[in-house]
Structure 1
Amino acid sequence: MTSASVQATHVDDLFPFFLRHAKQIFPVLECKDDLRQISDLRRPPNWYPEARAIQRKIIFHSGPTNSGKTYHAIQRYLSATSGVYCGPLKLLAHEIFEKSNAAGVPCDLVTGEERLTVEPEGKQATHVSCTVEMCNVATPYEVAVIDEIQMIRDPARGWAWTRALLGLCAEEVHLCGESAAIDLVTELLYTTGEEVEVQKYERLTPISVLDRALESLDNLRPGDCIVCFSKNDIYSVSRQIEIRGLESAVIYGSLPPGTKLAQARKFNDPNDPCKILVATDAIGMGLNLSIRRIIFYSLIKPSINEKGEKELEPITTSQALQIAGRAGRFSSHFKEGEVTTMHRDDLALLKEILNRPVDPIQAAGLHPTAEQIEMFAYHLPETTLSNLIDIFVDFAQVDGQYFVCNMDDFKFSAELIQHIPLSLRVRYVFCTAPINKKQPFVCSSLLQFARQYSRNEPLTFAWLRRYIKWPLLPPKNIKDLMDLEAVHDVFDLYLWLSYRFIDMFPDSSFVRSLQKELDVIIQEGVHNITKLIKISESHKLLNLEPSGSQSRLPGASKSPARRTRGTKTGNKAAEPPSPSDKELPLASRLVQQGLLTADMLKQLQKEWLTQRPEQGKEKVGTRRKKKDPNSD
């Protein structure tokens, strides 16, 4: 190289070319200041100008389970000229809906899957009972009730309580929940210039922790409730109770609401021979149960941490108090409650957990809106929705009183339907649909619904009947029962989407009728659950471990803080294994997690490859092509 050329060339001359290349690879560099401004979540109270325009009166009803805190708030709600009740569960929203109308106070019902109006010609009633996600922050009310306010800390749903707390446009806002939320609520509302009046309540009936564990199911008494934290334990305990000639009711989270209520009525009926309840922590709220004694079959509950890892760790004080408080309720047959454990080694740990002070809640959840994601997409048009969420979370700015809620479920749905051509707003709505990602049929149904929508093909009642292969037969084993529960969830998904895309999901009334028929079939299956368990065992469809072996930590009584950690696939004993589990290829993350089957992934890949020409018309992102699940 000549000296002249060396003098004419310098490494800095490459910088413009490097910068242009970097911006192509990392488009965020071009607009990071705009993105940082869009994702600024440091002043949530300013998002609700209607609420800020009035001076609200805030009353916090604080107390343990069965203290009457919600009762007093509801009485004020019923006496108001207009009101809204915001509950954590559909069952609770239904309960207040029925109570209001029974008391002569016209009340509508609004949940994600259902709308019921009581006034003629569909006119809006003065009162509305809704799930907290569905509350309207633009409608003025005299009184608003936000139940279970401590769920403002929930990693996934906390944003809904934050939105209701800061945004409801009501003259009086009544909050019901644990005292652990008082300090945080007071701090949040201090920024709005609103003071919090705290009313504290004591438990209406006494409750005592026994000095002796149950140790054997032979020691069960009428009114006992055995609380398990896995379906396997539910099945095992129910089977052992049946062997002893006793009848039990069963309640767990994935059962339809109608089936839960039917099992609760069976257990509560003094004339019914069923005197024992076997349940998960689903009994913690939403059901009125006449329980004398709560028996913790285990104190170890599986959970997913912020890294997506499954952990086995002791239940928290808040969880233990919520469950234990179901014993000896004021409205039940038993005026005194008792709490104990199944195993002697767990009793000391239970007492320790119940005697610990509940840690104050430190932060409230927040969630990006559709508008914010759309603005991100405007600046990053070739980025997938899942990646947009990741970038938003990375750029989000929150102060110490807030946190950004876990978006893993949203991202799961976004990746599931990523290859389907949809507008961003429609894609966002599909991804917010509440689904159980552990149910392969529900996941594949979301995919199928999105595909039909993208083709502009309405999902009619006739189409849905063919899709689920209706009519369905009563379950013959546990796997059949779980399949029926999944179909019920698919009906819920259809109904949820029908209120967002009424033209494409036009037959909600017919689907609701079909869902009620299915609920009856599931109720029949749960009524005969011990027979289903027996058949499943005989056909090796269900592998029940010895009692408590998978739900108790070794040496738990010696080291309460000890826990076992693994990946999401590492500790699957909580669910009965599928016959095809051994055949699933480990190369695929979704199959590893048990969320989709190998056949479903093959079908997805095939559809993705055939739709690639269509994708060229829509900028769907810069993500790499997924690895062939069979490449390993």
Structure 2
Amino acid sequence: MWTFSLRLLTQNRLISRNLLRRNDSIVGWFNSQPCSARGKQDNTGDESFKVSRLFEPAAPKGSSDSELGVELTGRINKSDILKVLNKFSQKADNKSLCLEYGLDDYIQQKAFASFRQYCFQTKSIPAELYIKLYDIVNGAGHPDDLFPYLLNHAREIFPHLSCMNDLKKISDLTNPSTWYPQARSKIRKIIFHAGPTNSGKTYNAMQRFLQADSGIYCGPLKLLAMEVFQKSNEKGTPCDLVTGEEKRRSKEDGSEANHVAITIEMAPVDRRYDVAIIDEIQMLRDPGRGWAWTRAFLGLNADEIHVCGEAGTRELLERLCLTTGEIVEYNHYDRLTPLTIEDKPIESFEKLQPGDCIVCFNKTDIYTVSHEIESLGSEVAVIYGSLPPNTKLAQVAKFNDPNNPCKIMVATDAIGMGLNLSIRRIIFYSMVKLQQNENGEKGISSISVSQALQIAGRAGRFGTQWEHGYVTTFKRTDLPKLKYLLSEKPEPITQAGLHPTADQIELYAYHLPNSSLSNLLEIFTSLSTVNDDLYFICNTEDFKELANMIHHIPLSLRIRYVYCCAPVNIKQQFVCAMFTKFANQHSKYEAITYDFVAQNCALPVRLPQSIADLVQLENIFDVMDIYLWLSYRFADIYPHRDRIRAAQTQLDDLIQQAVAQITKLIKEANDNSEPSQSAKVVVTLDDYSKAAQSESGDRERFSEYLVRKGVLTSTMMKQLQNEFLGTSKPTDSRNFEIDSRHKPSSKRSKRRK
């Protein structure tokens, strides 16, 4: 018996030694890092600690030889196991040793807790661990002998401990130019066409595009790609159109043309072209989409790359070309028509003139301003971002037509690019907007120099009836700010966006099989290595939110990744609900038919009777866009592309009709004393304070702010004023203006006090 026990003890020591050797690989990555990466007692500023918290422990696997340990030794009292584990976990030397092996405080806490629970389950632990516990309980071993088993357990529940080097290599984004071997196999000719809006820079690049044997145009918007598609075919150069939701062939036989106009996310890096155009190159810095411009600039396989955009991008492009061994040829263009900043704001809608465009930065302002202008007897064209492309074009055609009575436009900054407008004067209704930064944080802030120049430059387009452009503001307090912004040069662009690819995330999933897609992306971003002098990681909050929406649906990682790339407006609950239903149907491998969409979207729809109805039609249009986008990736799951497109065309017509009578819809909403739940707007004093602080000069009155935000209508505000003054006769809202000169009588004031 003594010989047998001695043999077991020797065997256990060998096992422990092998376990330690096997776990030495854990130390490799951590030893190559600064000491701070291996853990600190003060975790507040420790990046390693922050990264560790992204990893959730997996469930340990049971052992098939657990009964063997019991047969060889005998039963162990669980209270004795608890005493041994407490001694082991409380010893400071063991904690220090954990740090040396890369287990920071967070990993230690989770690993010790899991190991304790694991050891209590004596029927599932390996025989070697059971024998080791038996020996320690019976005085033939020391609690410190459990350390190699703890390390082995930690590596099992935290797989990243044994593959950190691999994860760091996968997320190494320091030199993305090497990702495109076909582009790097040649020295491309880079021509940068720089200049302000309406300077002819894109026109000059397009001449080379039309002359080439093959070419590709990459634009930020479907409208721009469609314009190039139409003009190229009109001039005798067969050109295809490719966007996320649509593919059109120019040749009658359906074969591919040598020229193609695409939205930039669709840019192919594996096909060769003679000439490529990348439009609006300053979008490299966009927090959400900048990666698409970086990918196109570094990866397009073309002999000539013509880049169009702001001059502030020049230095960044030159530095990017240092990594590819290429040289930038710089062509600067001046504005073709004069642009004058007026010395006075308009301050009243009655001062509007033909060719004026009022620029607002939210939908509520669009509705309010449109209603006020049309109540004065002027017809209005309306453009905002969520309108379908054809509806936007119809509004543009109405506004540009000299014979059409519509001479005023109300629009968001969606007019900044992609639309050919005949505008005489741009009027900024406000100088602040809700914006998102690189970290995904949203807040109200002043528009940038680049945004101000882009929007103001839409006035006075070359070759139209208004070749002299003017720009001003609606409010007097905004005019000095506008003059300042337009006197400055665009902010220099110093970084280009990057985004992890599906292949990189799949490699991460191989090493971390228990992590969700959202968690994988967060870990990737945290571990990624980026050359901060050139690049930044694009914001992935929308992507992660979509990933969380469908986390519970059983889809493969690749399919799940594709779904999260779909054009989903996460602000709209109905759109998100339909997106989730699509993914759920896909997981069952059931075809998503036209009838499925019609049933869930209540098709056919009728002409909207209110703003809420119009918003719902826009949401349904977005759902159909998602269907079409997915149909090009999963044709067998989304088989009714043509029927959905036909229904979307009919829906577009209804939206056009509704926008044409938008004032009537607003009036209907104003006439309802109790707004619908979907149309309610909640505004707090904190919101007003933030908005007021963001503007220079005199603070906007709270009553004006409520009307501008759509919480109160002019009619409601006037009625409140009449009640406040003790009058009962309501006044026409067209003659209403908030005036500090209206004060109650002194008698009523004293009684009120």
TM over 0.5: yes
Deviates more, 1:18-27 or 1:279-288: 18-27
Q: 2:96 maps to what in 1?
A: none
Which whole-Å CA distance do the structure 1 matches of 2:164 and 2:690 have between them? Answer: 48
How far the C-alpha of 1:190 sits from its partner, in A, is 1.3
Which whole-Å CA distance do the structure 2 matches of 1:102 and 1:171 have between them? Answer: 25
Distance of aligned partners of 1:520 and 1:454 in 2 relative to their CA distance in 1, 3 Å threshold: same
Q: 1:289 maps to what in 2?
A: 421
Q: 1:157 maps to what in 2?
A: 289
Is residue 2:417 matched to residue 1:277?
Answer: no
Q: 1:503 maps to what in 2?
A: 636
Distance of aligned partners of 1:96 and 1:5 in 2 relative to their CA distance in 1, 3 Å threshold: closer
Runs of 5+ unmatched residues, structure 1: 563-570, 578-632
Which whole-Å CA distance do the structure 2 matches of 1:99 and 1:162 have between them? Answer: 27
Aligned mate of 1:326, from 450, 453, 458: 458
Residues 283, 290 of structure 2: 8 Å contact kept: yes
Q: 1:605 maps to what in 2?
A: none
Residues 239, 261 of structure 2: 8 Å contact kept: yes
3-state SS, counterpart of residue 66 of structure 1: coil
2:571 is aligned with what amino acid? K
How far the C-alpha of 1:545 sits from its partner, in A, is 10
Q: 2:400 maps to what in 1?
A: 268
3-state SS, counterpart of residue 144 of structure 1: strand
How far the C-alpha of 1:572 sits from its partner, in A, is 12
Within 5 Å, which residues of 2 pair with 1:188-337?
A: 188-337=320-469
Distance of aligned partners of 1:290 and 1:528 in 2 relative to their CA distance in 1, 3 Å threshold: same
How far the C-alpha of 1:118 sits from its partner, in A, is 1.5
3-state SS, counterpart of residue 510 of structure 1: helix
Residues 368, 708 of structure 2: 8 Å contact kept: no
Which whole-Å CA distance do the structure 2 matches of 1:167 and 1:132 have between them? Answer: 12
> Larger radius of gyration, structure 1 or 2?
2
Q: 1:597 maps to what in 2?
A: none
Aligned mate of 1:431, from 541, 545, 564: 564
Within 5 Å, which residues of 2 pair with 1:81-230?
A: 81-230=213-362
Residues 31, 379 of structure 1: 8 Å contact kept: yes
Distance of aligned partners of 1:130 and 1:524 in 2 relative to their CA distance in 1, 3 Å threshold: same
Deviates more, 1:326-335 or 1:493-502: 326-335
How far the C-alpha of 1:309 sits from its partner, in A, is 3.6
How far the C-alpha of 1:10 sits from its partner, in A, is 5.4
Is residue 2:528 matched to residue 1:390?
Answer: no
Within 5 Å, which residues of 2 pair with 1:609-620?
A: none
Is residue 2:604 matched to residue 1:466?
Answer: no
Which whole-Å CA distance do the structure 2 matches of 1:143 and 1:135 have between them? Answer: 13
Is residue 2:508 matched to residue 1:370?
Answer: no
Residues 107, 127 of structure 1: 8 Å contact kept: yes
1:144 is aligned with what amino acid? A
Residues 321, 327 of structure 2: 8 Å contact kept: yes
3-state SS, counterpart of residue 496 of structure 1: helix
Residues 348, 557 of structure 1: 8 Å contact kept: no
1:302-326 Cα offsets, whole Å, 9 max, x none, are 1133454431111000000000000
Aligned mate of 1:354, from 486, 494, 516: 486
Which whole-Å CA distance do the structure 1 matches of 2:359 and 2:696 have between them? Answer: 22
Deviates more, 1:186-195 or 1:85-94: 186-195
Which whole-Å CA distance do the structure 1 matches of 2:361 and 2:187 have between them? Answer: 44
Aligned mate of 1:52, from 164, 184, 187: 184
Aligned mate of 1:41, from 157, 173, 177: 173
Distance of aligned partners of 1:556 and 1:411 in 2 relative to their CA distance in 1, 3 Å threshold: closer
Residues 232, 573 of structure 1: 8 Å contact kept: no
3-state SS, counterpart of residue 81 of structure 1: coil
Is residue 2:576 matched to residue 1:443?
Answer: yes
1:98 is aligned with what amino acid? Q
Q: 1:399 maps to what in 2?
A: 531
3-state SS, counterpart of residue 260 of structure 1: helix
How far the C-alpha of 1:466 sits from its partner, in A, is 1.9
Which whole-Å CA distance do the structure 2 matches of 1:428 and 1:545 have between them? Answer: 35
3-state SS, counterpart of residue 534 of structure 1: helix
Q: RMSD of the TM alignment (CA)?
A: 2.5
2:292 is aligned with what amino acid? A
3-state SS, counterpart of residue 250 of structure 2: coil
How far the C-alpha of 1:30 sits from its partner, in A, is 2.1
TM-score normalized by the length of structure 1: 0.86
Which whole-Å CA distance do the structure 1 matches of 2:146 and 2:472 have between them? Answer: 73
Aligned mate of 2:612, from 466, 476, 479: 479
Aligned mate of 1:23, from 146, 149, 155: 155
Deviates more, 1:457-466 or 1:386-395: 457-466
Distance of aligned partners of 1:30 and 1:438 in 2 relative to their CA distance in 1, 3 Å threshold: same
Which whole-Å CA distance do the structure 1 matches of 2:693 and 2:153 have between them? Answer: 57
Distance of aligned partners of 1:344 and 1:572 in 2 relative to their CA distance in 1, 3 Å threshold: closer
Residues 572, 619 of structure 2: 8 Å contact kept: yes
Within 5 Å, which residues of 2 pair with 1:515-554?
A: 515-539=648-672, 540-541=675-676, 542=679, 553-554=691-692
Residues 231, 575 of structure 1: 8 Å contact kept: no
How far the C-alpha of 1:266 sits from its partner, in A, is 0.8
How far the C-alpha of 1:288 sits from its partner, in A, is 0.6
3-state SS, counterpart of residue 121 of structure 1: coil
Which whole-Å CA distance do the structure 2 matches of 1:15 and 1:91 have between them? Answer: 64
1:267-294 Cα offsets, whole Å, 9 max, x none, are 1111111110000000000111110000
Residues 300, 551 of structure 1: 8 Å contact kept: no
Deviates more, 1:480-489 or 1:112-121: 112-121
Which whole-Å CA distance do the structure 2 matches of 1:574 and 1:304 have between them? Answer: 22
Aligned mate of 2:202, from 70, 73, 94: 70
How far the C-alpha of 1:353 sits from its partner, in A, is 1.4
Which whole-Å CA distance do the structure 2 matches of 1:142 and 1:556 have between them? Answer: 48
1:115-134 Cα offsets, whole Å, 9 max, x none, are 00112332110100000011
Residues 438, 538 of structure 2: 8 Å contact kept: no
1:262 is aligned with what amino acid? A
Within 5 Å, which residues of 2 pair with 1:524-603?
A: 524-539=657-672, 540-541=675-676, 542=679, 553-554=691-692, 558=696
Q: 2:722 maps to what in 1?
A: none
TM-score normalized by the length of structure 2: 0.72
Number of corresponding residues? 567
Residues 230, 551 of structure 1: 8 Å contact kept: no
Which whole-Å CA distance do the structure 1 matches of 2:242 and 2:480 have between them? Answer: 44
Residues 287, 437 of structure 2: 8 Å contact kept: no
Is residue 2:593 matched to residue 1:455?
Answer: no
1:17-61 Cα offsets, whole Å, 9 max, x none, are 432343344332121111111111111111111111112100000
Distance of aligned partners of 1:29 and 1:97 in 2 relative to their CA distance in 1, 3 Å threshold: same
Distance of aligned partners of 1:551 and 1:277 in 2 relative to their CA distance in 1, 3 Å threshold: farther
1:118 is aligned with what amino acid? S
How far the C-alpha of 1:330 sits from its partner, in A, is 0.4
Residues 214, 220 of structure 1: 8 Å contact kept: yes
Distance of aligned partners of 1:437 and 1:214 in 2 relative to their CA distance in 1, 3 Å threshold: same
Which whole-Å CA distance do the structure 1 matches of 2:656 and 2:710 have between them? Answer: 20
Distance of aligned partners of 1:556 and 1:312 in 2 relative to their CA distance in 1, 3 Å threshold: closer
Which whole-Å CA distance do the structure 2 matches of 1:315 and 1:551 have between them? Answer: 18
Distance of aligned partners of 1:308 and 1:176 in 2 relative to their CA distance in 1, 3 Å threshold: closer
Residues 64, 202 of structure 1: 8 Å contact kept: yes
Which whole-Å CA distance do the structure 2 matches of 1:545 and 1:346 have between them? Answer: 25
1:41-88 Cα offsets, whole Å, 9 max, x none, are 111111111111112100000000000000000011001010000000
Q: Percent identity?
A: 56
Which whole-Å CA distance do the structure 1 matches of 2:319 and 2:172 have between them? Answer: 20
Residues 205, 306 of structure 2: 8 Å contact kept: yes
How far the C-alpha of 1:463 sits from its partner, in A, is 2.2
Distance of aligned partners of 1:367 and 1:544 in 2 relative to their CA distance in 1, 3 Å threshold: closer
